[in-house]
Amino acid sequence: MFPGLLTDIIDYQNDLFRNIRSPRTTIDCFDDLGDGGQDTEVAVAAEMPGHELSHAPVITRSFDYGVITYPFMHESWLASRFSSGQHYGVFYGSEELETTVLETVHHWRQFILATYPDQDEDIFSERRVVLVLCRGLLVDLRGKEVDYPALLDQTDYTFTNQIGQYLHDQNQNGLLVRSARCSGTNAAIFTEKVLSNPRDHCYLTYRWNPARDLHVRVERVLGEDWMQV
């Protein structure tokens, strides 16, 4: 089906950077429903019975993006490079911090251009970067882009969707592939069983004025540019 493409398997054991939307400071979800104090305590007590019990909420809680499980939950399936979004979810991570920034800035910028292209003020997105351990056999597609340039297509995911669907149907754990945004490495994981041990690495803020700025400003320390993309 894909001659010469799915020939390399790697016994992978490495941390992946997972970059998700998340506030940098704690938010009181009930601050507009009362005057604080006892009002907040009552609201929290009323809301808690609806929570699914979990021994590891940082892994499973969908409200906190369930760092590992959220991408595989049916209601969170999204169309992406290696999934049409109709049949399964994919966990995406990068071997390098800069790679995950370039990937997520690209998609965030596309969202802004589609929704607020003429807004003449800073739009910002707060991000949380987590390290997740990946251990398992992965299909290694790095270097295959020479013969299969569609692996790095910037806009058309038809070919990569076919690859993802085939590997998912074959019960493969996932794959490694060169990033389409830089020379770094991305992982697309199809099962949570090879993922474990999520650990906070850092928080980021993306800032961009779509009417004025050529580059998105990325801050690790608030108010200080760390990267421009």
pLDDT tens, residue by residue, 166-207: 999 999 999 999 999 999 999 999 999 999 999 999 999 999
Q: Which two tokens stand for residue 195?
A: 């993922």
| Domain definitions of the chain by residue range | 9-28+57-228
| pLDDT attached to residue 28 | 58
- Could you give phi then psi for residue 109, rounded to 5 degrees? -65, -40
* Amino acid symbol at 194: V
- Name residues whose C-beta falls within 8 Å of residue 177's C-beta, 6 or more positions apart in sequence: 141, 142, 144, 145, 151, 185, 186, 187, 188
Q: Are 150 and 160 in contact (CB under 8 A)?
A: yes
The yes-or-no verdict on residue 119 having pLDDT over 90 is yes
| pLDDT attached to residue 50 | 56
pLDDT digits (tens, 9 = 90+) for 36-90: 667 666 665 665 565 454 444 444 444 444 688 889 988 778 899 999 999 999 9
Helix (H, G, I), strand (E, B) or coil at 38: helix
DSSP 72-140: GSGGG---BTTB-SSS---EEEESSHHHHHHHHHHHHHHHHHHH-TT--S-EEEEEEEEEEEEEEEEEE
Q: Which two tokens stand for residue 208?
A: 């961009």
Tell me the whole-structure pTM to 2 decimals: 0.83
